[in-house]
Amino acid sequence: MTEKPDGIALARAFFARVWGAPHDLDAIDELMTPDYCLHNAGATIMGRDRFKAWVGEMQAQIGEPTNEHLDLFMDETGEKVVSRWITRAVNKGLFGTAPDGRAIDYTGISIWRVRDGRLAECWVERSALELRGRLIAD
């Protein structure tokens, strides 16, 4: 019997190390496969280097982020991990808005595929449209 990869531990480490302070982008090399693929808002980001750049751009637009897994579970094969989460941060110019330091929050669901003991692919749905509407309306 082969041991299942601990996708839940990978998801927790990703949120804590990459999105949490001090934003260790090099942890992506450890946690993700070289061909990591993110499907997000109609766009696909291929490869760890492009993913690191995308994360860096996002982190430049939000400050002091905290992330909380509201639900986190893995399928019986260990190949899929799902997290329903909330991010709380301050606005540093998200969506091209003025970097006014307002408190922001948004929710999302991430579905990761695990391969070779690392996160290999992710599909993300988040409440970005609703957050954008709140930022522009205020």
Digit-by-digit pLDDT tens for the chain (138 residues) are 345 559 999 999 999 999 988 889 999 999 999 999 999 988 999 999 999 999 999 999 999 889 999 999 999 999 999 999 999 999 999 999 999 999 999 999 999 999 999 999 999 999 988 888 888 886
pLDDT at 135: 87
Residue pair 52/25 in contact (Cβ under 8 Å)? The answer is: yes
How many CB atoms are located within 10 Å of the residue 45 CB? Answer: 18
pLDDT at 104: 94
Q: What type of residue is 37?
A: C
CATH code: domain 7-137 is 3.10.450.50
pLDDT at 1: 39
Cα–Cα distance, 53 to 45 (Å, whole number): 10
In the chain, where the domains are located: 7-137
Query: Do the bridges between strand 32-40 and strand 118-126 make them parallel or antiparallel, or are there none, so unpaired?
Result: parallel
